[in-house]
Amino acid sequence: MNLWLKITLLVVVQVAALAAMIADKQWTLNTGTPVVLQTEPVDPRSLFMGDYARFAYPISRLRLDGETALGGDKDFKQHDTLWVALKPDPDGAKAVSVHHQRSAIGPELLALKGEVQSLNENEWDRATNKSIPQRTLNVRYGIEQYYVQEGTGGEVERPRGGEKVSILVAIDARGKAGILAVLLDGRERYRESLF
């Protein structure tokens, strides 16, 4: 095999890998079930990639014990893959249960795939100013960052006048989520598109 053929083959493989990544994301956005998630914005900035909004969601912290505990499995470890059963709601989807297997989630609920980032055995109670036993999972879904046009990140990170930031995501049949749009008070501010 001559050198130019090897170089051409290498370039074709790299372009195919990039095209597959783009196609995978577009598949999720085009075929996924749209659902709104409420957010808890954070304020980061990347010098190399420009402005972006970093989001935490109420479904990013899943309680396994106590009055507000979710149903489902309780024995998780860091880096475990999990499936969260979501009940769609116009005000923001609610987590109903958490499982090791997707098959444990009924067809009437959406199944969102995530990864356990950490497991906390205690939670700080601000009312009593004490640590209480409360097992909580911190979960990552792959929708925690969204890049915006340079100079506009503050609108999402620090909304004005009590505006609520929520995210419209698409969840496909594989449990994978992708951000379709960033909503301010229910109105689209940013819309994800291929171009």
SS3 of residue 75 by DSSP: coil
Among residues 188, 186, 191, 190, which one has the least CA distance to residue 91? 186
The mean pLDDT of 45-56, rounded to a whole number, is 64
User: pLDDT for 135-160, tens place per residue?
Assistant: 899 999 999 888 776 766 666 666 67
Q: How high is the pLDDT of residue 42?
A: 59
- Residue 192 has what pLDDT? 77
- Mean pLDDT (the chain, rounded): 84
User: Which residues, 6 or more positions from 174, have their beta carbon under 8 angstroms from its beta carbon?
Assistant: 28, 113
Query: Which band of pLDDT confidence, cut at 50, 70 and 90, is reported for residue 112?
Result: very high
The share of the chain scoring above pLDDT 90, in percent, equals 35
